[in-house]
Amino acid sequence: MKLFNIVLAVCLLAGLSAAEEKPPQKLVRVIGTSEVKVVPDRAVVELGVEKQDPRASVAKHAEDAAARKILASLRANGIDEKDIQTTYLSLQPRSIYIKIKKQWVTYFFAQQTVTVTVRDLSRLDALLESLIQAGGNRIDSIAYETSDLRKYRDQARDMAVRAAREKATALALALGQEVGKAHSIEEVPESSSGYAGALPNAVYEFESGRTRTPSTAPGQKTISASVVVSFDLN
């Protein structure tokens, strides 16, 4: 039994010695990035109505009436129910100082915001104009999107992986070496602000009861991807 323990101890020591003598793994670690340019095919618009009056009930009823006209206009323009959502509703008092009377007066402000997905961008300007005519007096933002976001993200990710291998190959070549198989790969999380495309200053202005309608241009969206890859360095 003692002889067995001695042999076991010798084997363990020999294994530890071999592990300590093992050279460190040679790796090349790179970051691959890519971008895909996409023309948006839909827009998400936040628009609303705001009414004010010294009496809370009057302000709320005026806002409700305008909101109903906006919803009716959206349906008349062929917007599907699933693409219409009320996202904000508020009734709050505010104190306003009137210089002529030299006193503070409390007004109630009733607000409602509706988020609309427009799937035909060619109708966007005409739709916004009709909504303003229906009673909307606030357009908060326009965000351009693509309905095939998953497809383009996958495409950008594949390109990022290829870019990582090309970069690693170039680095190894500069050292007179080669890269082997991938040892590890990790996707860099996307930035939350990378694809919002919001235009918070896209507000319609009013002059003498008439609407001055700005033109809208979807342009292109950039979908990016980044990966961190470690390759064996031979």
User: Is residue 155 classed as helix, strand or coil in its secondary structure?
Assistant: helix
Could you give the angle at which helices 56-76 and 124-133 cross, rounded to 10 degrees?
150
Q: Which residues pair with 6 in a beta bridge?
A: none
Closest CA relative to residue 123, chosen from 87, 81, 83, 79 = 79
CATH number of 23-40+148-191+214-234: 3.30.110.170
How many helices (DSSP H) and strands (DSSP E) are in the chain? 4, 9
In tens, the pLDDT along 107-135 reads 999 999 999 999 999 889 989 999 999 99
Which positions ≥6 away from 170 have C-beta within 8 Å? none
Q: Could you identify the residue written with the tokens 């200053």?
A: 201
Class of domain 42-145 (CATH, top level):
alpha beta
In tens, the pLDDT along 80-96 reads 999 999 999 999 999 88
Tell whether pTM > 0.85.
Answer: no
Domain limits, the chain: 23-40+148-191+214-234, 42-145
Q: What is the reported pLDDT for 10?
A: 46
